[in-house]
Amino acid sequence: MTQPLLRARRLVKTHGTTPALRGASVDLHTGEILAVTGASGSGKSTLLHCLAGILTPDEGSVEYAGELLEKLPEPRLSELRRTDFGVVFQFGQLIPELTAADNVALPLMLAGASRTAAREHAGQWLERFGVRGQEESRPGELSGGQAQRVALARALVTGPKAVFADEPTGALDSLAGEQVMTALVHAARESGTAVLLITHDARVAAYADREVSLRDGIVLDADGAPVALSSEAPEVSR
């Protein structure tokens, strides 16, 4: 198999006195949709935040395209989150004061695009996710499914290499959840974007190419054994 796009090794992360990750390792490959499942409180969101460079692990390493995220300065991490990474949260976390089009256009404007060009591109993505006609609606005027599809458009509008989706259907009913997952998978397949999907729902995990689970802070394969990884990155401790 080719070298992974993202490679995490032996991640340890504690929140206060509560351990969330206890040596978790996982690979994400270009174009792959990977589901990470596990019970509530198992550390799934912590793992996603470490992989996306939002949190720094206490121990271990996260390598993206040859760069160790924990060694990068914040400006470089911010750049990666604007360009190479897209993040989708359970409740979308759209900016309530902005319209749908401006929410989607925001990452492009932060990267230097004009508002006109950014909104035009945002409109194309809103159409792809089936919410064309809602450009001027604010998040409070959208249904849950519409808002989450706007959030997906925002995550993908910059053409990221990887999207991190944290329980993207958790706040939706089954029909809206199916529509959101269908749109996400279709867009990811078209663009070759890798997706790391955090979920506790087996129906959502079924959309993935591969599934692992998180238990007691360790990533387990389909047989319930710790994930076996062929090449280990140097361990980084702080």
- pLDDT tens digits, one per residue of 12-55: 999 998 999 999 999 999 999 999 998 888 889 999 999 999 99
User: For residue 234, what are the contacts with CB-CB under 8 A and spacing of at least 6?
Assistant: 61
Mean pLDDT of 189-217: 93
pLDDT band at 236 (very low <50, low <70, confident <90, very high): very low
The span from the first CA to the last CA of the chain, in angstroms, equals 31
Question: 56: burial class by Cβ within 10 Å (0-12, 13-18, 19+)?
Answer: middle
Q: Which CATH superfamily is domain 6-220 in?
A: P-loop containing nucleotide triphosphate hydrolases (3.40.50.300)
With a cut of 90, say whether residue 156 has pLDDT above it.
Answer: yes
Decide the pairing of beta strands 194-198 and 33-37.
Answer: parallel
Q: What is the pTM assigned to this prediction?
A: 0.89
pLDDT band at 229 (very low <50, low <70, confident <90, very high): low
Question: 215: burial class by Cβ within 10 Å (0-12, 13-18, 19+)?
Answer: middle
More confident: 3 or 55: 55
DSSP 114-173: -HHHHHHHHHHHHHHTT-TT-TT--GGGS-HHHHHHHHHHHHHTT--SEEEEESTTTTS-
- β-bridge partners, 211: 35
DSSP secondary structure letter of residue 228 = P
The radius of gyration of the chain from alpha carbons, rounded to an integer in Å, stands at: 17
Question: 41: burial class by Cβ within 10 Å (0-12, 13-18, 19+)?
Answer: exposed
Q: Are 106 and 93 in contact (CB under 8 A)?
A: no
What is the per-residue pLDDT for 165?
Answer: 94
Instruction: Report the C-alpha gap between 129 and 182 in whole angstroms.
Output: 10
Mean pLDDT of 98-105: 96
Instruction: Report the C-alpha gap between 32 and 44 in whole angstroms.
Output: 18
For residue 6, what are the CA distances in angstroms to 57, 97, 194?
15, 34, 9
With a cut of 50, say whether residue 234 has pLDDT above it.
Answer: no
